[in-house]
Chains A and B, each alone.
Chain A
């Protein structure tokens, strides 16, 4: 279906379809413009219009149709001749010397701000028309000069104020360098019409210039800053989204690798590391898998989201999202269940003590025993050949006694005055457990090594658990009771194990920096040499 209009041409009323009308109008405008230079323009044009009307009526008559169509107008224009054809046929017209018809009129391009295609204030758009440089290039230059040095901002503002906005159609055409003639006008108008037809949203944008025009410069600036931030913000947003996407993907991969390692796809020994010893072996895998799900799905969602923001793609299907959500909730609930269960294992505490008699000496040396005694299970785990190590003592890494996955410090030492004249060491083994019996059992399974070799007391830095024993906060508290007057030379590394006394204070400017000397007095430990 097409829209028709009624025109009055050559004193006749003729029905004509909309697109035909537009073609005709354009043609007549051109004709008028062409003959506008001569004094007889009106007469010639009306002659032509009469002739056209005559031709239309002939067509309507012969084809027995009610309305002039586009093809008819084209035929008539062909017969009548286009304006270019007029030029070829006549030269005796008293033509205007300034604008020779047919030759392209001198196009003077003027510098205006293009607010129709503006991102902020149309400075870059206008400049791009004038300089014939692609607008994006100019915009990138502007942004760079604004952010690196700021001078670009000042230049931009000056241009904003100085360059006038292209308001009227002829100004806009002059800005773009389109010929200011009726052909140009027609082209310009048609372009705008087709743009409006294609994208109805742009009709809304056309109301914006009204707002901009009505405000003063400052309000315009404020509004435009907001729009700019939105536009620039979107780009920055996209950058952030891309970075997030990459980071999240790396996390994702790392999580998978960790899971594989923990599950034992290769012998990584992670099961013996501290946090994982808390978990009882029976539900080790289930719990970790559930925890993995709980962590991985948010990461996955983050990746999908950032992909969507970065690349403007469609959001994931609802089914998929709900599916993910369900899986995540399942993982979460299972994880919570197991966490509760594990926490329950620490409910009760138990303790038992034993005393060790010490051989009395006037001076003791206290040091840390870093050697580890390997059990048979250890040698299996580490695939050691016992024969290789026979007779050798393997030392702990003394540089990093508390590496990240070591259990928290579970040995503490207090040095007290002995009531009797004999020194003694009291070892208290403590542990948590599901109930008292279990806790006591856990405590009994603690291995702690203490040696006395003559006057040297060697304290192991950590307790040992049986292989596959779960960590239940097992710890040992040692109380060393020495009579008054006993001197102690303490290895400085022991400081962190000693409670309620700091041997740092006993530092002397000695060659022997490793040992600190203290003495047991009636009031407790004192530094051997007061600083």
Chain B
């Protein structure tokens, strides 16, 4: 239970980062984002993604356009805005720092 909490916390922190990374590769719509996150074992349910995407869009990090589809309802295809790209760069930096911190903590031995 306790481990789960920490794990959830960890995942929550980087979910947004991952989403931005995925979108930065190119135009993509929600369902595909979810599929990728699932293979990365980062997402369990789809329902959590939609509010996240909407929030990012409202904060100006994402934009979308509607694409009509023959087999179903129209889809939103998301792309990063310039602001989104710059935030992503910042997050990259933060990620590096974190990665370093973890590696450090793992490899260092405690001084006797």
User: How many angstroms between the C-alpha atoms of A47 and B54 in the bound complex?
Assistant: 9
Stretch at the interface among A35-43, A114-122, A253-261: A35-43
Cβ of A38 and Cβ of B73 under 8 Å apart? Answer: no
A71 at the B interface (CB under 8 A): no
Cβ of A53 and Cβ of B47 under 8 Å apart? Answer: no
Cβ of A86 and Cβ of B74 under 8 Å apart? Answer: no
Stretch at the interface among A89-97, A233-241, A302-310: A89-97
The interface residues of chain A lying within 8 Å CB-to-CB of B46 are 48, 51, 79-81
Within the complex, the shortest CB–CB distance from B91 to chain A, in Å, comes to 14
User: How many angstroms between the C-alpha atoms of A10 and B72 in the bound complex?
Assistant: 8
A57 at the B interface (CB under 8 A): yes
User: How many angstroms between the C-alpha atoms of A86 and B77 in the bound complex?
Assistant: 22
Quick one: closest B residue to A31, CB to CB? B47
Which secondary structure dominates chain A's binding surface?
Answer: helix
User: How many angstroms between the C-alpha atoms of A12 and B50 in the bound complex?
Assistant: 20
Cβ of B71 and Cβ of A57 under 8 Å apart? Answer: yes
Interface size, A (range): 20 to 34
User: How many angstroms between the C-alpha atoms of A185 and B101 in the bound complex?
Assistant: 50
Cβ of A79 and Cβ of B45 under 8 Å apart? Answer: yes
B51 at the A interface (CB under 8 A): yes
Cβ of A11 and Cβ of B74 under 8 Å apart? Answer: yes
A11's contact among B44, B53, B73, by CB below 8 Å, is which? B73
Cβ of A57 and Cβ of B72 under 8 Å apart? Answer: yes
The interface residues of chain B lying within 8 Å CB-to-CB of A53 are 72-73
B12's contact among A43, A51, A89, by CB below 8 Å, is which? A89
A89's contact among B44, B54, B58, by CB below 8 Å, is which? B44
Using A51-B30, A57-B72, A91-B12 as known contacts, say yes or no to A44 and B54 having CB atoms under 8 A apart. yes
Cβ of B45 and Cβ of A85 under 8 Å apart? Answer: yes
Interface of chain A residues 427 through 469 with chain B (CB within 8 A): none
B94 at the A interface (CB under 8 A): no
The interface residues of chain A lying within 8 Å CB-to-CB of B72 are 10, 12, 53-54, 57-58
Cβ of A40 and Cβ of B47 under 8 Å apart? Answer: no
Cβ of A51 and Cβ of B31 under 8 Å apart? Answer: yes
A98 at the B interface (CB under 8 A): no
Interface of chain B residues 35 through 71 with chain A (CB within 8 A): 44-48, 50-55, 58, 71
B51's contact among A79, A80, A86, by CB below 8 Å, is which? A86
Cβ of B45 and Cβ of A89 under 8 Å apart? Answer: yes
The interface residues of chain B lying within 8 Å CB-to-CB of A44 are 50-51, 54
Interface of chain A residues 239 through 291 with chain B (CB within 8 A): none
Interface size, B (range): 20 to 34
The interface residues of chain A lying within 8 Å CB-to-CB of B75 are 50, 54
User: How many angstroms between the C-alpha atoms of A90 and B52 in the bound complex?
Assistant: 8
Within the complex, the shortest CB–CB distance from A100 to chain B, in Å, comes to 16
Interface of chain A residues 24 through 62 with chain B (CB within 8 A): 31, 35, 38, 40, 43-44, 47-48, 50-51, 53-54, 57-58, 61
Quick one: closest B residue to A94, CB to CB? B55
The interface residues of chain B lying within 8 Å CB-to-CB of A81 are 44-48
User: How many angstroms between the C-alpha atoms of A476 and B47 in the bound complex?
Assistant: 115
User: How many angstroms between the C-alpha atoms of A81 and B46 in the bound complex?
Assistant: 6
A201 at the B interface (CB under 8 A): no
A214 at the B interface (CB under 8 A): no
Cβ of A40 and Cβ of B44 under 8 Å apart? Answer: no
The interface residues of chain A lying within 8 Å CB-to-CB of B76 are 47, 50
The interface residues of chain A lying within 8 Å CB-to-CB of B45 are 79-82, 85-86, 89
The interface residues of chain B lying within 8 Å CB-to-CB of A35 are 51
A90's contact among B30, B48, B58, by CB below 8 Å, is which? B48
User: How many angstroms between the C-alpha atoms of A198 and B7 in the bound complex?
Assistant: 47
Binary CB contact string for chain A from 72 to 87 against chain B (1 if under 8 A, 0 otherwise): 0000000111110110
User: How many angstroms between the C-alpha atoms of A58 and B51 in the bound complex?
Assistant: 23
User: How many angstroms between the C-alpha atoms of A88 and B4 in the bound complex?
Assistant: 11
Quick one: closest B residue to A83, CB to CB? B47
Quick one: closest B residue to A92, CB to CB? B55
Cβ of A40 and Cβ of B54 under 8 Å apart? Answer: yes
Within the complex, the shortest CB–CB distance from A262 to chain B, in Å, comes to 86
The interface residues of chain A lying within 8 Å CB-to-CB of B50 are 44, 47-48, 51
User: How many angstroms between the C-alpha atoms of A38 and B12 in the bound complex?
Assistant: 19
Using A44-B54, A53-B72, A54-B72 as known contacts, say yes or no to A86 and B8 having CB atoms under 8 A apart. no
Cβ of B73 and Cβ of A40 under 8 Å apart? Answer: no
User: How many angstroms between the C-alpha atoms of A90 and B76 in the bound complex?
Assistant: 22
A85's contact among B15, B44, B58, by CB below 8 Å, is which? B44
The interface residues of chain A lying within 8 Å CB-to-CB of B31 are 51, 54
Quick one: closest A residue to B50, CB to CB? A47
User: How many angstroms between the C-alpha atoms of A57 and B75 in the bound complex?
Assistant: 14
Cβ of A10 and Cβ of B73 under 8 Å apart? Answer: yes
Task: Add 20 more A-B contacts to A35-B51, A47-B30, A54-B72 (CB < 8 A).
Answer: A10-B72, A10-B73, A11-B74, A12-B73, A31-B47, A38-B51, A50-B73, A51-B46, A51-B50, A53-B72, A54-B75, A57-B71, A80-B45, A86-B45, A86-B47, A89-B8, A89-B45, A91-B12, A93-B51, A93-B55
* Chain B contact residues, CB within 8 Å of chain A: 8, 12, 15, 30-31, 44-48, 50-55, 58, 71-76
* Chain A contact residues, CB within 8 Å of chain B: 10-12, 31, 35, 38, 40, 43-44, 47-48, 50-51, 53-54, 57-58, 61, 79-83, 85-86, 88-93
20 interchain pairs, CB-CB under 8 A: A11-B74, A12-B72, A31-B47, A40-B54, A43-B54, A50-B74, A50-B75, A51-B46, A53-B72, A54-B72, A54-B75, A80-B46, A81-B46, A85-B44, A85-B45, A86-B45, A90-B12, A90-B48, A90-B51, A92-B55
> Top 5 nearest A-B pairs by Cβ distance?
A81-B45, A81-B47, A89-B48, A10-B73, A47-B50
